[in-house]
Amino acid sequence: MVSGPLLEFSGVHFAYQPDRPVLTGADLRVEAGQRLAVVGPNGGGKTTLFRLAAGSLTPGSGHVAVAGTRVRHNRAGLRAVRQQVQLVLQDPDDQLFSASVRQDVSFGPVNLGLAPEEIRRRCDEALAALGVAALADRPTHLLSYGQRKRVAIAGAVAMRPRLLILDEPTAGLDPAGVEALLQTLDDLHAGGTTVVLSTHDVDLAFRWATAVAVVAGGGVRMMPAAEGLADTGLLAAADLLPAWAPLVHRVLDRVPGLAGARPGSAAELAALLTAEARAGS
Amino acid sequence: MFALDIAAHTGPWRSRHPAEKAMLSLGLLACAVALPPWPGALFSGGAAAVLLVGPARVSPAVVLRAARVPLLFVATSTVPLLVTMHATARLAVNAAGVVPAAQTAGRSVAALICLLLFSATTPLSDVLPRLHRLGVPPAVTEVAALTYRMLFLLVDSVRAVREAQAARLGFRTWRTAYRSLAGQAGAIFVRAFSRARRLEEGLALRGYTGSLAVQVEARRVSAPFVAATVALLVLIVALSAVVRWQW
């Protein structure tokens, strides 16, 4: 068993164009079992960070290590990385190449050289985990956007990665779809997968994540979610507004009788205030 | 094409082995081509049509829509047989060409229905991965499968760009329409390249090393279906012989 972080960035520099660096000495540590939300402005480097973690990009300087081993960008090195780290791209159509859902999900396990029975088992498990088992025999081009997104995630889950990275998985989903996806990610996390996602929704990040990484100005700042998502200065530097919950919690802590209350949603806050009003009258 | 594709994916014959459906459709096609147009092609095409809208439950509207363009080709190809040009450069109906035109059209339509029977009941994603067992190189089937998948994305892109242009009056006049079409072609070209690059990365993330091999679901060939197919083909050949002999 490897000790230390599951994913580590040390002083990573990266630029698509020499005069416009995206990351300038980024450091990041993702521990096994963490639920990390990566937030930041558009073009801030979140996707670049993820592509570096998955081995799609090579750092200009610094290094990326997965489970204590530096990522080598040769065929064997990338194969080793992709058995541990799976990145789900934002647009599911960038991953779904087959016209059949089941065939598409089987692609990764086939590339791992697994036995047919094991491939079938992994596909069934991944499709069930993402709640799309009923779509197994459907053609990908007849699925809705949300369904395609789930199938794309199933394709990554079928590889059984230790670290699952999702680039803006909730973008384009309706609220029910977001809730269902978060529940699925919770289930995958409970099953032992470390989950990292990027989002612009700081409230969602606050609700879901245990830690947050703010990517802005070429750097990455990591901290506990409750602390980072209440830091108005840090979030403003990343063109983000603070999450409402920590702000409300701070206010509640100053109200006699409500100190320590931690409503996580508007409905919980309303219920809390209603109960307090009744108790007071 | 899309209606046929949906029919193939949702029809009751979806779960049948593609080989069964190929045997039935291609067997009927062989009868339509090899037997005399009357009555062989009629029986073959008729049987295919009945199977298509009967047990295979493909909507007649879908069949007609899919057959529109090929029927137009059949119709135009019979015209040269039906007309003749005199020395005075005047066109006239060629009475001697009516029978050959009817035979050609009948055989072509029958063959078309037989092919539709296969394409409206068998998704391409079921056929392509199995073709390598028939000796087709994997590179060919993989490129075909990828093209098939990308075609739908391309159509979506074309539709989206066209709608965006139309909303801004891009098709108000012939002049603006030409300009919009040129812009559309450029936008789609760039999108296709960008999509290809992202797709390559998406595949690499799942361990792509040059092969798009996937697991193909095992399906059993149904012996009763094969027996029924053979019986139907024998019946068509026998009936054709009997009717031809008595005619």
For the stretch A188-212, pLDDT in tens is: 999 999 999 999 999 999 889 999 9
> Computed over its alpha carbons, how large is the radius of gyration of chain B?
23
Contacts of B15 in chain A (CB under 8 A): 137
CB contact B178 to A (< 8 Å):
no
Partner-chain contact B9 A138, CB within 8 Å: yes
CB contact B153 to A (< 8 Å):
yes
* pLDDT for B152 beyond 80: yes
Dihedral angle, C-alpha B68, B72, B78, B83, nearest 10 °: 140
Whole-prediction pTM: 0.85
**Which segments of B12-97 does DSSP mark as H helices, in order?**
18-34, 42-53, 60-82
Which residue from B minimizes the CA distance to A142?
A: B6
Structure tokens at B205: 């993330």
Tokens 């069964």 belong to B20
Q: Which of A277, A279, A267, A224 is nearest to A246 (CA)?
A: A224
| pLDDT digit string, tens, across residues A130-150 | 999 999 988 998 899 999 999
Q: What is the mean pLDDT of chain A?
A: 92
Torsions phi, psi for B203 (to 5 deg): -70, -40
Q: How many helices (H) and strands (E) does chain A have?
A: 11, 10
Query: Which pLDDT does position A150 carry in this prediction?
Result: 95
ipTM above 0.85, yes or no: no
Query: Which pLDDT does position B91 carry in this prediction?
Result: 82
Torsions phi, psi for A10 (to 5 deg): -125, 110
Which residue from B minimizes the CA distance to A158?
A: B206
Distances (CA, A) of B94 to A20, B71, B72, B109: 76, 22, 21, 22
Contacts of B131 in chain A (CB under 8 A): none
Q: Can you tell me the distance from the alpha carbon of B47 to that of A60, in angstroms, rounded to the nearest whole number?
A: 67
Q: Which of A91, A116, A142 sits opposite B6 (nearest CB)?
A: A142
Q: Which of A160, A100, A115, A118 is nearest to B216 (CA)?
A: A100
Partner-chain contact A141 B216, CB within 8 Å: no
Q: A88 near A152, Cβ under 8 Å?
A: yes
Residues 6+ apart with CB under 8 A from B168: none
Task: Quote the DSSP letter at residue A241.
Answer: P
Tally of CB atoms within 10 A around B23: 18
Q: Can you tell me the distance from the alpha carbon of A229 to that of A40, in angstroms, rounded to the nearest whole number?
A: 11
Partner-chain contact B202 A110, CB within 8 Å: no
∠ CA(A249), CA(A254), CA(A258), 5° rounding? Answer: 65
